[in-house]
Structure formats: structure tokens, C-alpha cells
Structure 1
Amino acid sequence: MTDDRSVAAVSAPKMQILLAALLIRANHVVSRDELSNEIWGSAPPRRATASLHVHMSQLRKLLTRPGRPGGPIATTAPGYVLRLAPGELDLHRFQCLLRDGRRAARAGGHERAVELLGAARSLHRGTVLDGAATGPIVGGCARWAEEARIECAELLVASGIALGRYQEMTGVLRALLAEHPLHEAFYRQLILCMSRSGRRAEALRTYHSARDTIRRELGLEPSWELRELQRTILRSDGAARDMQLVG
């Protein structure tokens, strides 16, 4: 957690969950029952309400900054609300950048899309609580954030390909596949980049590697789209050889 003056670490797991839930629902009241469910699930301790109050008091002290009386957390029936100014939370900025980048890409504004989506990707600093929370608020946000991160990367690469930035996108895709080795869309984009930059043999080797990985890990064949891309490259490679023979 950072502000313009200092950095503070929230190390206690229950306080991490409380802060994450309040941030995700920033400027909206989160009930005590919802917060209790985030921390303890369906088996809260006997003094859950008192324990929640203690954790919240500790969190309030941590968030109170010198020269800023009151702090951002307010008690509002039936629970608590964390007040934030617009654009103060990275999550909200990521959502706005992804939305605007998606619109730019769909409208064919690929230069602008790359700029917006690149800025969105730079805000993503890992999994929410590293998967430590499974409650409806924090766990649900963590799952959404991972899906949104993948969508952001796919859109960024697609716009990069539309701009002819094949070499640059190849490097981005290799890094993405190291993290998501079963995500077929990244394989399709990588193979397409290689093929369009004249590296058809490497593109076909990448297809075979993808097929072997998918078979080994999932017991499945590659998708129709991936197989069709391979066939397209083979046909174009054969056409190119025929032209050389005729010449």
C-alpha cells in the first residue's frame, strides 16, 4: 500500500483480506456479514464480531496518515466503507484503460489501443493476495483480474499484429506463453507473427510444440483455429515452392 509520502505493508492475513475487500468495493458499504464471510467462510468463531472490530481498528490505525485526520474507512450501517478519490486505485485505472483500449481496438485505432493496453498491463502486479483468499469478494476479483489480464494481453498483441509489429509481439508472446503454456490464443498469435515475418518453418515447429503440450497436459487435440492456421501456412509454403519451380 502506497501514498504520495510513504509505503506501508499489511502483513497480517486477516487484515490483508479486509483491506482487499474494502478496496474492491471502494466507496460502497461492505457489511460485517460479508467481511466475516471473507475471513472465516461458513465457520466463523464465536466472537467473530468482536474479532472483526479489532482487525478493523488495527487497519484504521495503519491507514491513518500524518496530517490526514480521520482516515479513509468509515463505519456505515451495516458495515464499513473505504472512501477513495477517482483514479486513486490501480484496479479502477486498469478497468478504465482496458475498456478504452478495447474500444480503440474494435474501432481500428490500433496505435491508441497499444498505448492504452500497454499502460493497463503495466498496472498489473501479480495475483490478488497471491491466491490466499477464496471469499466471494476477493476470490471473485482475483479470478476476474486474471481473466482481464489475459484479455488485455490478447488485445494488445492483436493490435500490434495489425500494425505489423511482428518481431516485437513475438517477444511479448514468448513471455506470455512461459506463464500460460496452455493458452491456445497466444500460440495462434505467435505462429501468425512468425509466419508473417517470413519464419514459416519456425511457425510450424511452434505449432507442433503447442500440439504436443496440449496433448500431454490435457489429452486433447489443438483447436480447429490452431489446426487451420497450420494448414494455411502449409498451403502458402507449398504455393511459394511452386512459384520458385515455375520461375
Structure 2
Amino acid sequence: MVDSRGSRFVSAKKMQVLLVLLLIRARQVVSIDEAIAEIWGQNPPRRATAGIHVYISQLRKFLGQPGCRNNPILTRPPGYLLHLEDDQFDVDRFQELLHRGRLHLKEGRPEQAVTAFEGGLSLWRGPVLGDLCDGPVIAGFATWLEETRLEYLEWLIEAQLSLGLHRELIGRLSALTAEYPLRETFYRQLMLALCRSERQADALRTYQQARARLNEELGLEPCRALRDLQQAILVADERLELPAAV
């Protein structure tokens, strides 16, 4: 289909699922049985295999380029393979920027790390795959991608804290602890940002909030990093201060 802006898109949900499955497994063969399981689960119709062939035919028409004889969907027993060039898959770029940012941070280049992390997060377009996550492959991919995004956020904030942006981060971290109340890294980062902003009481209150939530939800005590940070705040450990620039 074509929308009001002239953009083409796949409207049929089963075709969307098949296209996403091919994208997730890009450059790998997706068997017909795997495609059937992803689309229909444990109760496929009798003509499911024929249905897959029809969907592939329609996707080939959708992805075909005028004047180009080669279609990106290739027949490869026991199924099909989607061929993509190296620069056509945002997930590859997403992972590359995460790796680059972590390397910059490890080697003491926080400014470059922030640039890499922000570049990766700029590729994000909202909730992962919407209502297409019924099948095991797509659901697992969506979970992995969301976890990777949160890892990006944690490392980005770590780099920003090392640049002395603690006051600017308090609001964002407060929102993140509310949105992800069991993710202890965000509590630790918020406590550190508050402490460096001369708000030790609020930092200790944040620890108590994290402890109460973890106890209520999981019956757990805060992790070692949170407990150590609480103790360091209580004794005014000088190591909590932002290192002076050399």
C-alpha cells in the first residue's frame, strides 16, 4: 500500500510478520517451517506452506526495484533468505555505535562516547515491532533490542556523569527510575548525580525508595553497588567527587 506521503508499506499482518522474520534473520536462511511457526504458532492451517509461498511472492513484488533483475529475497532450501547490503540494516549500525561508545569511555574519551551513544539512540523509532511480537523469534529479538537500548542509556548517562553533567541529569534519571523501577543502575546514577549536586539527603532517600521497591516486588535487597554508594554518601567519601580535570 501507499500512504498520503507516497511511502510504500505492507498492510497485511501476516506479511509484516514474515518480512520482519526475514529481516531479523537477514543473510540467513529462514525455513518454511520456521516461518509457519512464527505466523501461526502451534495451529497452522492445512495450506500454510502454500500461504508462505504467496506471501513471499507478494513481498518480492513489494521489495523489487524498477529495472533491477535481482530481488533481495532469494530461494534457498529449505526456505528463503533476505539479502541486505552492509549499510541497509539499522541494527548493525546500532550495535556498532554501542561498541564504539563503550571503547571511547573505557579509553577515557567521554565526549566521543556521548556522541557515539547519542548517535545510536537517534536510530530508535519507538516501541519495538508493536503488535508483531507473538512468535518466539520476533519476541526474542524485541526483548534483546529493548535491553540493548537500555544498556545504551546507562552507558550514555555514565559518560555524561563523567563530564560533570550531574545537575542536568537529575530530571531524566528521576523519570527513568519511575519507568524502570527494578533497574538498579538508574538508581545508582541518580544517587550519584544528587550527591554531586549537594543533595545528599535526596540521594539517601532515593536509596530507600529503591530498597523498598526491590523488597516489595522481588523480596531482594539492593545490589552491592547501591549499598556501597549509600555507605560512601553516609561517610562523605571523597571518591564520590567528580575527578578534577588534568
In which range does the TM-score fall when normalised by the shorter chain?
0.7 to 0.9
Correspondence 1:5-154 to 2 at 5 A = 7-66=7-66, 68=68, 70-130=70-130, 132-154=132-154
Distance 1:60 1:176 in 2: 42
What RMSD, in angstroms, separates the aligned Cα atoms of the two structures? 2.5
Secondary structure of 2:46's aligned partner:
coil
Per-residue CA deviations over 1:122-170 (Å, capped at 9, x if unaligned) read 2122343236324343222112112211211111111111121112332
Distance 1:111 1:203 in 2: 26
1:211 corresponds in structure 2 to 211
1:6 to 1:25, Cα distance in 2 relative to 1, 3 A: farther
Distance 2:10 2:182 in 1: 34
1:185 aligns with 2:185: yes
2:158 corresponds in structure 1 to 158
1:228 to 1:131, Cα distance in 2 relative to 1, 3 A: farther
Distance 1:21 1:152 in 2: 24
Distance 2:180 2:63 in 1: 36
Amino acid at match of 1:206: T
Secondary structure of 2:9's aligned partner:
coil
Larger helix fraction of residues: 1
Q: Is the Cα–Cα contact under 8 Å of residues 110 and 162 in structure 2 kept in the other structure?
A: yes
Q: Is the Cα–Cα contact under 8 Å of residues 134 and 140 in structure 1 kept in the other structure?
A: no
Amino acid at match of 2:215: R
1:232 corresponds in structure 2 to 232
* CA-CA distance at 1:216 after TM superposition: 2.6
Structure 1 window deviating more from structure 2 (222-231 vs 68-77): it is 68-77
* Percent identity (aligned): 51
Structure 1 window deviating more from structure 2 (159-168 vs 114-123): it is 159-168
TM-score of the superposition, structure 1-length normalised? 0.84
Structure 1 window deviating more from structure 2 (185-194 vs 206-215): it is 206-215
Q: Is the Cα–Cα contact under 8 Å of residues 32 and 78 in structure 1 kept in the other structure?
A: yes
Structure 1 window deviating more from structure 2 (222-231 vs 194-203): it is 222-231
- Number of equivalent positions: 235
Per-residue CA deviations over 1:66-116 (Å, capped at 9, x if unaligned) read 555554222222221222221212111101111111222222221111110
1:62 to 1:129, Cα distance in 2 relative to 1, 3 A: same
Distance 2:164 2:116 in 1: 18
Secondary structure of 2:133's aligned partner:
coil
Q: Is the Cα–Cα contact under 8 Å of residues 94 and 123 in structure 2 kept in the other structure?
A: yes
Distance 2:14 2:130 in 1: 14
Secondary structure of 2:75's aligned partner:
strand
Distance 1:154 1:113 in 2: 12
**For structure 1, which runs of at least 5 residues remain unmatched after alignment?**
238-247
* CA-CA distance at 1:121 after TM superposition: 1.2
Secondary structure of 1:169's aligned partner:
helix
Distance 1:164 1:91 in 2: 30
TM-score of the superposition, structure 2-length normalised? 0.85
**For structure 2, which runs of at least 5 residues remain unmatched after alignment?**
238-246
Q: Is the Cα–Cα contact under 8 Å of residues 131 and 142 in structure 1 kept in the other structure?
A: no
1:172 corresponds in structure 2 to 172
Q: Is the Cα–Cα contact under 8 Å of residues 22 and 82 in structure 2 kept in the other structure?
A: yes
Q: Is the Cα–Cα contact under 8 Å of residues 132 and 138 in structure 2 kept in the other structure?
A: no
Q: Is the Cα–Cα contact under 8 Å of residues 128 and 138 in structure 1 kept in the other structure?
A: no
Distance 1:147 1:200 in 2: 30
